[in-house]
Amino acid sequence: MFKPFLQQLTKVTDLAILFATIFVFLAFITPEELSQAPLNNARDDYDRTTSSLALVEAEEIATRVKVEESISVSSELTNSIAVIKTAINSIDTELVEGAINNIGIDADQDITDQTNAELDQLNAELDQLNMELITNESQLQLFRETSEAASNNIVMLRNQLKTIEETIADIEIAALSSKAVSWLQPVRTNTNELINAAGFDGFIAGFAALIFCLVCRRRQTWFKQMFGIYFK
| Domain residue ranges of the chain, discontinuous segments joined by + | 1-33+180-232, 36-177
Amino acid 172: pLDDT: 80
Amino acid 141: pLDDT: 93
Fold entry, domain 36-177: Helix Hairpins (1.10.287)
Across 98-121, b (16+ Cβ under 10 Å) vs e yields: eeeeeeeeeeeeeeeeebeeeeee
Amino acid 72: pLDDT: 93
Identify which has the larger pLDDT, 47 or 172: 47
| Per-residue pLDDT tens over the stretch 129-163 | 899 999 999 999 999 999 999 999 999 999 999 99
Q: Which pLDDT band, with edges at 50, 70 and 90, does 183 fall under?
A: low
* Cα 136 to chain centroid, rounded: 35
For the segment 71-88, the average pLDDT, to the nearest whole number, is: 89
Q: Which pLDDT band, with edges at 50, 70 and 90, does 174 fall under?
A: confident
